[in-house]
Amino acid sequence: MKALVLALLLATPALATPADETAIRAHGVEWVKAFKSGDIEALMALYTPDAEVALHGKPKLKGIAAIRGYFTPLLKTPLDADFLLAEESLVVDHDTAVFMSKYWFTIRTPQGEIHDPGRSLIVYRKGADGVWRLRMDIDQAAPDVTYPPPPEAK
């Protein structure tokens, strides 16, 4: 009986701690801050070396060098932009977390605003140093995510 209880305990996924959930949510805030300020080094520090990014309408980026190559030209001149998120779900299992959110990306140009709403699925990995980093990011257009953003979008 003790062996069965031990086996069941070991087979049960580790629950997220409040600290893990807070760190993962803060990661999104840091990503937006680095992106909006044009800080490529701060942005790259948020990714694992083997990260993969699939932005809708773009080829998949694999590895930090490809991700840096994509973002560097975009961030040379910081954008007048807003990037709002509304969390839909967060699941943490040991050193992996999956975060799904709706997003509203707005760029202001002299010609007017460009709106890009959608949904993202982000996989985080917790490193040996205890830091959560972005391992996979998939963004897509979603017909149920439209402008204007709701009040809960941050």
Residue with tokens 């840096």: 68
pTM of structure: 0.84
CA nearest to 149, candidates 121, 111, 107, 115: 115
Pairwise CA distance, residues 62 & 43, whole Å: 16
pLDDT tens by residue, 90-116: 999 999 999 999 999 998 988 999 999
Give the per-residue pLDDT at 15: 60
Per-10-residue mean pLDDT for the chain, 154 residues long?
Answer: 44 68 93 91 97 93 97 85 92 96 92 94 96 96 94 88
The CATH classification number of 15-140 equals 3.10.450.50
Say which amino acid occupies 2.
K
* Domain layout of the chain by residue ranges: 15-140
